[in-house]
Amino acid sequence: MFTYYLQLGLRSLRRNPALTALMVMAIGFGVAASMITYSVFRAVSGNPIPGKSAQLFTPQVDGWGPQQNLKGEPAEALGYIDAMALMRAHEAKRQTFLYPVQLSVMLGGSRDLPLNANGYAVTADFFSMFEVPFRYGGGWSAQDDDARASAVVISGKLNAKLFGGADSVGRTFNLGGHDYHVVGVTSQWNPRPRFYDLFSTNGFADEPDIYMVFSRALDLQMRSGGRNSCRGSLSYTTWQGYLQSNCVWITPWVELDSPAEVASYRRFLTNYAADQQHAGRFGWAANVRLRDVMQWLDYEHVVPPESRISLVVALGFFLICLVNTIGLLLAKFMRRSGEIGVRRALGATRREIYTQYLIEAATIGLAGGVLGLLLTAVGVSGVGILFRPEIAKLARLDVSLVGLTLVVAIIATVLAAFYPAWRAAHVQPAWQLKSS
């Protein structure tokens, strides 16, 4: 019976080419607009570290006070003093502290100009906490942190540039005027959004080139290559002065495996802030936060407003296209009420009429889906005009999006056809074919 209905559907579509084209276009445009914006939204709103997002937390301590903080919220990063205090307390099983660095890479020969290398100064647990995949070697140890070692982990990309992609573990190269030895080479690793550094990035930067030892970067008095945020009047004139200021620039992360650990760390943070108040460093009550990855992404508004607004607008657009389709299907089906009456007289049950028209709608949905797919492909490649390049390139037409486009188009059209088909099925079996 299915093929019979399909034949009938196709025949009927051929009979009113203009109406059919209109419906197919409405579905096609609607589904394409939704899919293009969804592909971007999906890319920017995903969970960057699904396995561990609920175990990784970033602690915040308010070092600015109620009059200067962010409308009651503590700063989005830590200053040196608080970062060091948390680091030394080492209350979590694993913890890492990081800030962005910008360095130059001196290539061996003097013929080549120096290259720019972006990366992070991090502590040893960074690699295990964030499950960084390695092609060669691995991270460094806590001893290296303490020894302020000149160890460095480099990206596969930089490794290709410097060492032709060979296993470079143990080799040495010059970074910003100092020699470093490679301990590991990462495989492609750039979680998006870059949850671990939303203080300095919008979450969608290119893959970092290097990861160096945090204590080593401090030794070299390297200022953050990213953001730096301060309050009050500033008077520092030396590195030491800068470190003691209220400027925030270090992002801390801790790994907490159970609710008990989370509660205990929260207590520790509160106690720490309270101690600072007793000691007179803070003139206000403890104000701390402990957000996990998804809470942090949400708090930092990682999804660009453009993405959210355009998704909602596109969905509204799709809804209008569906309302339009309901109306046109209603017109199309009811115009054939005579034929429906005859079919009913000849013994078609309501269900059979209903099925026939739903299948006809599904073929429209399929055609709309195919058109939508073409438009989506065009749109995804042209999405660069709508979003910043680093976000636009996340939009991709993959298998799942192709499938989703077709399925959404068909299901939406069939849903839109429920009412018109219901009306068609309730046409009375007729004596007369009303053929005016």
Partner 1 sequence: MNFQVRPILTALRRHKAGTMLIALQIALTLAIVCNALFIIHQRLGNLSASSGVDEANVFVIANMWADMGQSTSQIDAQVRADLIALRQLPAVGDATPASGYPLRGGGWDNFVTMTPDQVKPTTDSAVYTGDEHFIDTLGLNLVAGRNFRADEVMVMGTQEAVTPPTVIVSKALADRLFPDGNALGKSFYAMGTTPSTIVGIVDPLHRQGVDQWSNGYAGQSLIWPMRADDSRGVYYIVRARPGQLADAMREVPKALYAQSRMRIIDPKDGIQDYATIRHKVYDSDRGMAILMGIISVVLLAITAAGIVGLTSFWVGQRRKQIGVRRALGARQRDILAYFLTENFLISASGAVLGIVLGFAFNLWTVTHFAMDRMSLVYVGLGVLMLVLLGQAATLAPALRASRVSPVEATRSV
Partner 2 sequence: MLKMTHLSKVYRTEVVETYALRDFNIDVKEGEFVAVTGPSGSGKTTFLTIAGLLETFTGGEYHLDGVEVSNLNDNARSKIRNEKIGFIFQAFNLIPDLNVFDNIEVPLRYRGMKAAERKQRIMDSLERVGLASRAKHYPAELSGGQQQRVAIARALAGSPRLLLADEPTGNLDTQMARGVMELLEEIHRDGATIVMVTHDPELAARAQRNVHIIDGQVVDLAEEPRFHAHAAAGNRE
Q: Is 70 in the site for partner 1 (CB under 8 A)?
A: no
Site for partner 2 in 8-47 (CB under 8 A): 11-12, 15
- Rounded to an integer, what distance in angstroms lies between the CA atom of residue 155 and that of residue 165? 10
Q: Which residue in the block uniquely carries the two structure tokens 């197919």?
A: 24
The residue (of 131 and 179) whose beta carbon lies closer to partner 1 is 179
Q: Which of 142, 263, 285, 323 binds partner 1 (CB under 8 A)?
A: 323
- Rounded to an integer, what distance in angstroms lies between the CA atom of residue 211 and that of residue 208? 8
The C-alpha angle 405, 411, 414, rounded to 5 degrees, equals: 135
Distance set, CA 40 to CA 53, 182, 305, 373, 407 (Å): 21, 36, 12, 16, 19
Residues touching partner 1, count (CB under 8 A): 73
Q: Is 49 in the site for partner 1 (CB under 8 A)?
A: no
The residue (of 52 and 308) whose beta carbon lies closer to partner 1 is 308
Site for partner 1 in 160-199 (CB under 8 A): 176-178
- Rounded to an integer, what distance in angstroms lies between the CA atom of residue 116 and that of residue 94? 31
Residue 11 contacts which entry, partner 1, partner 2, none (Cβ below 5-8 A, type-dependent)? partner 2
Contact range with partner 2 by CB under 8 A, out of 81-89, 245-253, 256-264, 348-356: 348-356
Site for partner 2 in 241-280 (CB under 8 A): none
Q: Is 332 in the site for partner 2 (CB under 8 A)?
A: no
- Rounded to an integer, what distance in angstroms lies between the CA atom of residue 82 and that of residue 2? 70
Q: Is 85 in the site for partner 1 (CB under 8 A)?
A: no
Q: Is 436 in the site for partner 2 (CB under 8 A)?
A: no
Cα–chain center distance at 283: 38
Q: Is 360 in the site for partner 2 (CB under 8 A)?
A: no
Q: What are phi and psi of 26, to 5 degrees?
A: -60, -50
Site for partner 1 in 249-268 (CB under 8 A): none
- Rounded to an integer, what distance in angstroms lies between the CA atom of residue 31 and that of residue 364? 13
Q: Which of 1, 279, 385, 399 binds partner 2 (CB under 8 A)?
A: 1
Q: Is 320 in the site for partner 1 (CB under 8 A)?
A: yes
Residue 319 contacts which entry, partner 1, partner 2, none (Cβ below 5-8 A, type-dependent)? partner 1
- Rounded to an integer, what distance in angstroms lies between the CA atom of residue 250 and that of residue 356? 64
String of DSSP letters for 355-399: HHHHHHHHHHHHHHHHHHHHHHHHHHHTGGGTS-HHHHTT----H
- Rounded to an integer, what distance in angstroms lies between the CA atom of residue 313 and that of residue 318? 9
Q: Is 3 in the site for partner 1 (CB under 8 A)?
A: no
The residue (of 33 and 182) whose beta carbon lies closer to partner 1 is 33
Give the nearest distance from C-beta 17 to partner 2 in angstroms. Answer: 14
The residue (of 6 and 315) whose beta carbon lies closer to partner 2 is 6
Q: Is 143 in the site for partner 2 (CB under 8 A)?
A: no
Q: Which of 142, 166, 334, 345 binds partner 1 (CB under 8 A)?
A: 334
Q: Which of 233, 347, 399, 436 binds partner 2 (CB under 8 A)?
A: 347
Q: Which of 349, 374, 384, 403 binds partner 2 (CB under 8 A)?
A: 349
**411 token code pair:** 């299901």
The C-alpha angle 268, 272, 274, rounded to 5 degrees, equals: 115
Q: Which of 3, 143, 258, 435 binds partner 1 (CB under 8 A)?
A: 435
DSSP H or E segment with residue 401: helix 399-425
The C-alpha angle 319, 323, 325, rounded to 5 degrees, equals: 110
Q: Which of 237, 238, 435, 436 binds partner 2 (CB under 8 A)?
A: 435
Q: Which of 166, 263, 309, 411 binds partner 1 (CB under 8 A)?
A: 309
Give the nearest distance from C-beta 99 to partner 1 in angstroms. Answer: 13
Q: What are phi and psi of 404, to 5 degrees?
A: -60, -40
The residue (of 129 and 314) whose beta carbon lies closer to partner 1 is 314
DSSP H or E segment with residue 22: helix 17-45
Q: Which of 267, 281, 350, 388 binds partner 2 (CB under 8 A)?
A: 350
- Rounded to an integer, what distance in angstroms lies between the CA atom of residue 359 and that of residue 12? 11
- Rounded to an integer, what distance in angstroms lies between the CA atom of residue 62 and that of residue 297? 19
Q: Which of 260, 279, 346, 385 binds partner 2 (CB under 8 A)?
A: 346
Residues forming the site for partner 2 (CB under 8 A): 1, 4, 11-12, 15, 338-339, 342-352, 428-433, 435
